[in-house]
């Protein structure tokens, strides 16, 4: 009997990190013969059925055959429509991908709806600490998947046994290095001078990315490097981030920090093709991310696959991407440069975000500019590491193996994990 999977994250037709991964995971399931339903967070209308082998089942070049797209209701995370879809389609598995606070309704639905579905929660953690209610969220899943080794080690250290690690995947056949002549041709198309040292950032302009600190680091670097340019691929102004044009203007950096014309909400809402994104990485000398913390960090890995060294915060996933740890515990910047942080700041969910050392980040830019041969070696090592570990085809095989052994894994976990569904009624609590 064909098994059914109901999936939910960002809209699968978008080009966000979550949407890309949900598509990768859904393709793995379709290829293994599962019946796949995808609740589309941004779609409102009639369900769309794409039969297997359907020639026209593509959106933006992304194959959707074998998938049924379901509309979301009025609630962002599907609280109002999930029970209906569970009752109608009776899935064997529910597969969610997102931040840990987005799907708190699933355990209650699981306990009250008809049918006994198993829940796979694919979580990302952009901190190095576990907040109180997150423990119950992990316990209430049948399987929790995390895409970073940092998160896996953190949860195992917190005595969570129902956790597995599967990284995110990227298309390493698209994201690949450019030879010098191609790089210069791309710069010519973008009207960027050949000899300019270019620092690129690809990210959402949200508080966690702390783009203001990146601008500060560039200001320090630019004082002695007037032949440098920063390119930002993000929304210049964002209610969740910074008024970057104002900051740039106040620092007198107008003309030295520029934005791409794809100024949508990050890269997702305007569907920038991967081939276009690859050109953006390849025209740069460095990709920089002053992040407070990453659950994975797809732009970092895309830059790696393009042979571009990263400069980023030594927090969360940076170390597993860019560094080698020697037997004596020493960290060696092997595939990019890790920058220490000067402080940790608690954010509203209870996790901690790191504040990168701006002066050290500027020093890293200077080092890579002064040592282009070493920078190139870092980029080539980064490319090799990305292909070995984050190739989407290899990641897809990991998802196939997981689902084909899902029930056995869950039974193993249930022997060692105490599942507890928190009551939803309001109650008063006293803080000790």
Query: pLDDT of 19-68, one tens digit each?
Result: 889 999 999 999 999 999 999 888 888 998 888 877 767 766 678 899 99
Read off the tokens for 200: 């690129």
The four Cα atoms 143, 146, 151, 153 give a dihedral, to 10 degrees, of 60
Beta-bridge partner residues of 353 = 345
Domain 180-390 in the same topology as domain 4-169+392-414: yes
Strand, helix or coil at 416?
Answer: coil
Query: For 172-176, 282-286, 328-332, which range has the lowest pLDDT when averaged over its residues?
Result: 328-332
Nearest to 280 by CA among 175, 374, 165, 210: 175
Provide the pLDDT for residue 331: 77
Separation of alpha carbons 236 and 190, rounded Å: 19
pLDDT at 269 over 80: no
Q: What angle do CA 412, 416, 420 make, to 5 degrees?
A: 110
Per residue in 318-327, pLDDT (tens digit) is 999 999 877 6
**In contact, 39 and 45? CB cutoff 8 Å:** no
Residue scoring higher pLDDT (11 or 318):
318
Separation of alpha carbons 430 and 432, rounded Å: 6
Provide the pLDDT for residue 330: 77
Show Cβ contacts of residue 28 under 8 Å, excluding neighbours closer than 6 positions: 396, 397, 399, 400, 403
Helix ranges (DSSP H) in 12-98: 17-31, 82-89
Q: Which residues of 69-97 are buried (b: 16+ CB within 10 A; e: fewer)?
A: bbebbeeebbbebbbebbeebebbbbbbb
**In contact, 167 and 147? CB cutoff 8 Å:** yes
pLDDT at 415 over 90: no
Read off the tokens for 103: 């799907």
Class of domain 4-169+392-414 as given by CATH:
alpha beta
pLDDT at 401 over 70: yes
Per residue in 53-63, pLDDT (tens digit) is 777 677 666 78
Provide the pLDDT for residue 133: 84
Whether domain 180-390 has CATH 3.40.50.2000: the reply is yes
Angle between helices 274-282 and 298-305 (to 10 degrees): 70
The ranges assigned to domains in the chain are 4-169+392-414, 180-390
Separation of alpha carbons 419 and 143, rounded Å: 11
Mean of the pLDDT values across residues 369-388? 97
Provide the pLDDT for residue 411: 80
Provide the pLDDT for residue 187: 97
Provide the pLDDT for residue 63: 84
Read off the tokens for 87: 């009752």
Provide the pLDDT for residue 321: 97
Mean of the pLDDT values across residues 5-21? 87
Query: For 42-56, 193-207, 209-223, 277-291, which range has the lowest pLDDT when averaged over its residues?
Result: 42-56
Mean pLDDT value across the chain = 89
For the chain, the 3-state helix, strand and coil shares in percent, each to the nearest 5, are 35, 20, 45
Provide the pLDDT for residue 8: 92
Query: For 163-167, 260-264, 313-317, which range has the lowest pLDDT when averaged over its residues?
Result: 260-264
Separation of alpha carbons 19 and 8, rounded Å: 10
Work out whether strand 143-146 and strand 118-124 pair parallel, antiparallel, or are unpaired.
Answer: parallel
Task: Compute CA distances 33 → 16, 26, 30, 56, 394, whole Å.
Answer: 26, 11, 5, 20, 18
Provide the pLDDT for residue 347: 87
Highest mean pLDDT among 290-294, 321-325, 346-350, 407-411: 290-294
Q: What is the pTM of this model?
A: 0.92
Provide the pLDDT for residue 389: 98
pLDDT at 115 over 90: no
């Amino acid at each position: 009997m064909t098994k059914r999977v109901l999936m939910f994250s960002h809209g699968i037709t978008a080009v966000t990190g979550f949407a890309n991964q949900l598509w990768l995971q859904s393709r793995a399931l379709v290829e293994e013969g599962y019946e796949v339903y995808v609740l589309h967070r941004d779609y409102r209308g009639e369900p769309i059925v794409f039969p297997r082998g359907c020639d026209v089942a593509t959106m933006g070049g992304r194959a959707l055959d074998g998938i049924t797209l379901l509309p979301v209701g009025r609630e962002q995370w599907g609280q109002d429509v999930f029970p209906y879809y569970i009752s109608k389609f009776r899935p064997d598995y529910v597969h969610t991908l997102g931040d840990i606070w987005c799907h708190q309704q699933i355990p209650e639905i699981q306990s009250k709806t008809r049918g006994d579905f198993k829940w796979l929660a694919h979580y990302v953690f952009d901190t190095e600490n576990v907040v109180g209610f997150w423990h119950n969220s992990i316990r209430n899943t049948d399987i929790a998947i995390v895409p970073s080794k940092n998160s896996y080690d953190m949860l195992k250290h917190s005595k969570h046994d129902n956790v597995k690690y599967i990284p995110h995947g990227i298309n390493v056949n698209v994201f690949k290095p450019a030879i010098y002549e191609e790089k210069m041709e791309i710069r010519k198309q973008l009207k960027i001078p050949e000899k300019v040292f270019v620092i690129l950032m690809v990210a959402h302009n949200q508080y966690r990315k702390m783009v203001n600190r990146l601008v500060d680091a560039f200001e320090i670097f630019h004082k002695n490097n007037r032949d440098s340019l920063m390119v930002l691929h993000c929304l210049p102004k964002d209610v969740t981030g910074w008024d970057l044009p104002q900051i740039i203007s106040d620092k007198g950096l107008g003309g030295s920090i520029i934005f791409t014309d794809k100024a949508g909400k990050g890269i997702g809402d305007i569907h920038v093709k991967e081939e276009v994104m690859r050109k953006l990485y390849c025209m740069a000398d460095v990709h920089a991310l002053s992040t407070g913390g990453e659950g994975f960090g797809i732009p970092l890995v895309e830059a790696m696959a393009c042979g571009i060294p990263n400069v980023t915060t030594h927090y969360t996933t940076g170390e597993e991407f860019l560094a080698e740890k020697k037997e004596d515990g020493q960290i060696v910047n092997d595939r990019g440069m890790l920058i220490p942080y000067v402080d940790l700041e608690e954010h509203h969910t209870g996790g901690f975000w790191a504040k990168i050392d701006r002066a050290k980040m500027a020093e890293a830019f200077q080092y890579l500019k002064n040592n282009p041969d070493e920078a190139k070696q870092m980029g080539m090592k980064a490319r090799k590491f990305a292909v070995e570990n984050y190739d989407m085809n290899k990641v897809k095989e990991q998802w196939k193996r997981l689902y084909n052994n899902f029930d056995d894994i869950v039974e193993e976990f249930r022997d060692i994990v105490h599942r507890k569904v928190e009551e939803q009624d309001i109650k008063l609590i006293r803080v000790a």
